[in-house]
Chains A and B, each alone.
Chain A
């Protein structure tokens, strides 16, 4: 039996309609899940009372293990135990091998150069590994909260590019979790912190995790969290401290040839030493290789010297991001520390020195992101209709297209508030030309080769006209999740041109469909049954939201249109009772198309209402 839900007065008119939603921090080293219960957001524990789940997946001969059990096998069986998979998301195998050197895994490259881990359980890609980490978190949440989840907010580093974001979303969808929103980690931390302190003004969030670094500058004002600028490095984190420490051990002990198991042991010892140095001034590192005991003292000072260049890099990012945000150091009222790596004393002291104030660590830096995500999930799912909270996030890296000579023309510049839509016009250069190829990149550099390739697409069906006569307007739209979509239209004829987007470092629709089918096979689930269930839930959601909208704003429509909509709703209700997936999907789409006019009227109405309050205020 589900536990009684207690709603705060005025927050929910119908407490029994409380919907279950969670926030998930899918971290490089550890992952967490949090939810709002009885008005309080907190992280959920497993049966042993643990909040964090190590982001480690072991592909054994017979089964897949995740978390502590997987971590225990890490040194013994490194090639089948995948750690820090987040660093592989949306990256090509070539990129990874250049950056990390030799890794303990057996790799293969997919058709478009993405890494595939060859394990005892077969070949798996980073999206599938991430999905394995999400599974126990979702199960934990459903068990603790006592019901099926309506959706989840999943956090990503602010500095993640389009491919890395899409990969994260794909991982959740692979296990049937509806992603309410991809939320930037520093923004999530700001919510948790801002709602807690009720402060207003400019704050800086310094987020140094296991594998990523983000710095975000936000302005908090009357429930609106406006990200002014964000910067960072999606491949810099505590893992890099470990790696430098491993190099130090190798030099000290004069080790050259290591087995992959020994290499993993060194990495585990490096992490232990790093963590111990957050509380001690000196730590002894020890490993036993070939029955020989190796020891060395690592002082706080030595460690600081080793990692100083990396910490300095993060401070440079802070300086640049402040400038992008157009605020001075004095305007920053608070610095919030997020991520386990901010426990490193040098990191704390450097941040304190730069911002000239003691950084805040009042909320556990490991849990603050998941907590913020849970608060956002609770609002998005509709549990707090009165909430003032609004997040205005930005795109972290500029979007551009390749032009002649391998140069980039920027279409959307970094730190532009999202959602954003920018149109660009192109013309044909040959008589009768009916197709045009585009290459979309993300990054700040002028040369295509220095930016990250996002996608290539071809416009087809351009009407055959004289050279230069066809004007094609291409619109690049980035949604609230930071994900890009592209549409195009020939202006004179208003012909919509079709677009086939081929992601450079992501999975194609076909690959995702195949993965979905595979995962069903393993789970002995029936794909049609799951699809039917999903469509029924979707139909119920559409009926509920549209009925509520009609009740509230029905008078915006002429009587006949309102009656027609009500009929269509009733019709969907009848169709949804039957077990025909295609019919339900069609009824949903039909109803959706029919609401176009109503949706526009409601939107205009709310815009008018929003400004009306303004005009009165300013008289």
Chain B
């Protein structure tokens, strides 16, 4: 399913999120099961399916990482089930360093400061990856799509690091 088509948007990486949200609300008003509560079973079933698509489409287009993945899959590069790993050694070294810092948080005297510091460095690193990704996706060259896929893989690593940091923060709060 092409979510750009579903939302009647141009398939580009830069999305106006306010406009996207507005379209999402209008689509929801057209397909949501609550609008079909007294209709036939077929209509209800269809409504649940369409709403699920609209919901997934919105989440996909709203989230930059998922949006990039979706664009690449429309261009024939499917990253969702792949097992290829990042080979960039500088990136991998950086990952290891960050992982060590995550492990150190619990022994720190000021864990919240460490956590904030890590959030900041993750955010700025992600930002540079996304900037590069946007450029690569805009060119629509096959070679650039392949490099874009590499950036997406890196960003997935970053997302996992983020999750772990959140989990550590949760444990501290309890």
Contacts and interface: CB of A to CB of B under 8 A. Distances in A.
Interface in B140-159: none
Contacts of B170: 320
A390 B25 CA distance: 9
A316 B40 contact: no
A603 interface: yes
A603 B7 contact: no
A227 B22 CA distance: 16
Given A545-B38, A611-B8, A477 B52 contact: yes
A388 B59 CA distance: 23
Contacts of A320: 170, 173
A180 B58 CA distance: 26
Interface in B29-86: 29-35, 37-43, 46-53, 55-56, 58-59, 81
B156 to A, nearest CB: 15
B102 interface: no
Interface in B97-131: none
Interface of A is mostly: helix
A615 B8 contact: yes
Contacts of B7: 611
Contacts of B42: 592-593, 595-596, 599
Interface string A209-231: 00000000000011010000000
Given A421-B52, A477-B52, A382 B25 contact: no
A614 interface: yes
B23 A420 contact: no
Contacts of B59: 416-417
Interface string A524-556: 000000000000000001101110010000000
B164 interface: no
Contacts of A224: 25, 28-29
Contacts of A9: none
Given A316-B173, A480-B33, A542-B40, A390 B28 contact: yes
A591 B43 CA distance: 12
Contacts of A592: 40-42
A602 interface: yes
Contacts of B34: 181, 376, 379-380, 390-391, 480
B26 interface: yes
Nearest to B33: A480
A278 B49 CA distance: 48
Interface residues of B, number: 41
Nearest to B41: A592
Nearest to B50: A603
B33 A382 contact: no
Given A419-B52, A420-B56, A390 B37 contact: no
B88 interface: no
A599 B31 CA distance: 11
B26 A221 contact: no
Contacts of B30: 603, 606-607, 609-610
B38 A419 contact: no
A554 B58 CA distance: 31
Contacts, number: 122
B43 A599 contact: yes
B134 interface: no
A381 interface: yes
A319 interface: yes
A613 interface: yes
B27 interface: yes
Interface string A409-438: 000000011111110010000000000000
A609 B43 CA distance: 17
A610 B38 contact: no
B33 to A, nearest CB: 5
B49 A382 contact: no
Interface in A41-77: none
A255 interface: no
Interface string A155-187: 000000000000000000000000011000000
Contact of B48 (A416, A477, A591): A477
A602 B52 contact: no
A319 B173 contact: yes
B15 to A, nearest CB: 13
B50 A607 contact: yes
B19 interface: yes
Contact of A595 (B27, B37, B43, B173): B43
Contacts of B50: 603, 607
A102 interface: no
B23 A614 contact: yes
A591 B40 CA distance: 9
Nearest to A389: B34
A599 B40 contact: yes
Given A224-B28, A611-B26, A614-B22, A602 B43 contact: yes
Contacts of A451: none
A603 B47 contact: yes
A444 B48 CA distance: 25
Contacts of B38: 380-382, 541, 544-545
Given A319-B173, A599-B46, A603-B30, 10 more contacts: A224-B29, A316-B173, A392-B32, A419-B55, A421-B48, A479-B33, A544-B38, A610-B27, A611-B7, A614-B8
19 contacts: A180-B37, A381-B37, A390-B29, A390-B32, A390-B34, A392-B28, A421-B56, A425-B81, A479-B48, A480-B32, A480-B34, A545-B43, A596-B42, A602-B43, A603-B30, A603-B43, A603-B47, A607-B27, A610-B29
Instruction: List the 9 shortest-distance A-B pairs measured between CB atoms, nearest first.
Output: A610-B30, A421-B52, A380-B37, A606-B30, A610-B26, A599-B43, A599-B42, A480-B33, A611-B8
